[in-house]
Amino acid sequence: MSLGLLLLLLIGLAGLGFVAGRQRALAAVRGDARDLHSLPAYYGQAVALAAAVPAALLMLVWLIVQPLAVERSTLALILPEDIGAGSSRELVMADIRRIAEGMEVLVASGTANEGEIVALASQPEALKARLAEVNVALAAPISAHVAGAALVYRQSMATGQGAMAVAVLALAVAGFLLALWRVTPQFRARNVVERVMQVLLIAASSIAILTTAGIIFSLVFESWHFFQLYPARDFFLSLTWSPKFGGGSDLGLWPLLWGTLYVSAIALLVAVPIGLMAAIYLSEYASPALRAVAKPAIEILAGIPSIVYGLFALMTVGPFLRDWFAQPMGLGDSSSSVMTAGVVMGIMLIPYVSSLSDDIINAVPQALRDGSYAIGATQSETIRQVVFPAALPGIVGAILMAASRAIGETMIVVLGAGAAAKLDLNPFEAMTTVTVKIVSQLTGDTEFASPETLVAFALGLTLFVFTLGLNVLALYIVRKYREQYE
């Protein structure tokens, strides 16, 4: 039974439960709702919830646990001799999964029935040929034992699916009947429904915690795998980054970190002066008409996806900087460079700096300005010597948030900064960043369990710690500052 059908059945049962519960409650008091504890609809909702919620939870858990369990039992079936030279247990498992999928395709396309599939499993060569006919190509030759394991895998998956459908439906019907049986005029339906609702609301709000836990768990777990394959000392101290597919790679963090910080520094050098001055001008000088046009226009920059900035860097800014600056000055002839990525990222960050600073400047009490004007200061002197120092902590917070965004930005540097990991001072040289290498290490075709792939998780962990630290620091500074005026 397909998942969609099962879900539809559950929803149907819940709907039926609503009608049945409501009817039964009304029937118990001969249609006089005043004799019920709760409004009639609450009896319906109680039955609907009892039918749908436990069954849906069971289905969710089953969907998560079943593949894990089946995989584990199939892994146990793999014999040492099934694992060929250069192969691994995981690769054989992947083959098994692929064969099982292929068998599914064979059955679905009507070229083989269940009996033929079982027969085919004992003739690996014929099986491989049949699979190739339906575009399921297998690299390695199949041994009879692996084909058998695939058969077991496929059967236990199918049994699991069937068992799930039965269990979920049974639970739903049981919940339905139990709740319906409990419907009496004295049943405190509203209280029950509201308590269940509250639990569901709490569960929804815990997803934020689960996400953070998931991020930390996946990063730490895979990074730990990585550090078992590759010494942590080399990762944190080595100055070279040169992954090799054959093994023996140098995976030093520093060239990537240097590129990241260099690009971010240039981005901030562009974004902070422009963003800050724009915020000052718009909040202190600009006429309402100009402000009404310019402020939203600059904020459009924040709504443009970063892939657009990446393409802008690749097509326009990169060639422009190369032809007008790098080549005439003899600093290189690469269109992707730290400068390209930095300038474009700076443009992206202008609205972050300006709108945050704008809020902060507006929060400085007017009395401070009035006092300054009263002793004869000009407007710019007031801004520089009174408003700016008062707003400074908030502005620093805004800059730190912009910095954290710059460090985590991916698409601009993937398209604009280049892929060569080096420690260089020349801003017109192509360099690479942490995020670029996460993308390139995880989108390649390398084996998942190799240090070259797993290093991406260690890089991700570094990135996560950096951005989290900057954000916590920024929030701390902003919060501390706010206490002064409120």
Partner 1 sequence: MTAPSLAAPAPAKGASLIAPDARTRRRNASERRFRLLGLSAVGLGLLALVVLLTSVLGNGLSAFRQTWITVPVTLDAALLDKEGNRNPEEMRQVTTLGYGKLLEAALIAALAEKGIATDALSEKEVTGLLSKEAAADLRTAVLADPSLVGQTLTFRALATSRIDGYFKGRVTRESAARDANVTPAQLDLADRMAAAGLIGTQGNAGFLTRPDASELRPEAAGLGVAILGSAYMMVVVLVLSLPIGVAASIYLEELAPRNRWTDLIEINIANLAAVPSIVYGILALALFINILGLPQSAPLVGGLVLTLMTLPTIIIATRASLKAVPPSIRDAALGVGASKMQAIFHHVLPLAMPGILTGTILGLARALGESAPLLLIGMVAFVRDFPGAPPQGLLDPAAALPVQVYSWTQRADPAFVERASGAIIVLLAFLLAMNALAIILRRRFERRW
- By CB under 8 A, the residues from 146 to 205 that bind partner 1 are 190, 194, 197-198, 200-202, 204-205
Write out the two tokens for 79. Answer: 């014999």
**118 vs 439 by CB, closer to partner 1:** 439
Q: Is the CB of residue 97 less than 8 Å from the CB of residue 151?
A: no
- Which residues face 241 on adjacent strands? 251
**Member of 222, 358, 429, 452 binding partner 1 (CB under 8 A):** 222
CB 311, min distance to partner 1, A: 6
Tokens 């049962």, residue?
Answer: 13
**Member of 34, 68, 80, 248 binding partner 1 (CB under 8 A):** 68
Give every CB contact of residue 239 below 8 A, 6+ residues apart in sequence.
252, 254, 255, 423
Q: Is the CB of residue 437 less than 8 Å from the CB of residue 234?
A: no
Q: Is the CB of residue 433 less than 8 Å from the CB of residue 417?
A: yes
**Member of 188, 244, 384, 480 binding partner 1 (CB under 8 A):** 384
**Member of 1, 3, 61, 166 binding partner 1 (CB under 8 A):** 3
Q: Is the CB of residue 415 less than 8 Å from the CB of residue 314?
A: yes
**Member of 280, 345, 391, 403 binding partner 1 (CB under 8 A):** 280
Q: Is the CB of residue 402 less than 8 Å from the CB of residue 352?
A: yes
Burial class (CB in 10 A: 0-12, 13-18, 19+), 386: middle
By CB under 8 A, which span of 18-26, 160-168, 311-319, 363-371 interacts with partner 1? 311-319
**Please, which of residues 404-443 interact with partner 1 by CB under 8 A?**
404-405, 407-411, 414-415, 435, 438-439, 442-443
**38 vs 120 by CB, closer to partner 1:** 38
CB 273, min distance to partner 1, A: 7
Cα separation, 156 vs 67, in Å, equals 10
By CB under 8 A, which span of 111-119, 130-138, 302-310, 419-427 interacts with partner 1? 302-310
Cα separation, 261 vs 274, in Å, equals 20
Is 253 one of the binding residues for partner 1 (CB under 8 A)? no
Q: Is the CB of residue 186 less than 8 Å from the CB of residue 38?
A: no
Q: Is the CB of residue 308 less than 8 Å from the CB of residue 412?
A: no
Q: Between 456 and 475, how does the x/- string for binding to partner 1 read (CB under 8 A)?
A: xx--x--xx--xx--xx--x
CB 51, min distance to partner 1, A: 19
**160 vs 424 by CB, closer to partner 1:** 160
Q: Is the CB of residue 41 less than 8 Å from the CB of residue 22?
A: yes
By CB under 8 A, the count of residues binding partner 1 is 96
By CB under 8 A, which span of 148-156, 161-169, 217-225, 237-245 interacts with partner 1? 217-225
3-state secondary structure 276-304: HHHHHHHHHHCCHHHHHHHHHHHHHHHHC
**191 vs 484 by CB, closer to partner 1:** 191
**64 vs 425 by CB, closer to partner 1:** 64
CB 178, min distance to partner 1, A: 23
- Determine the length of the chain: 486
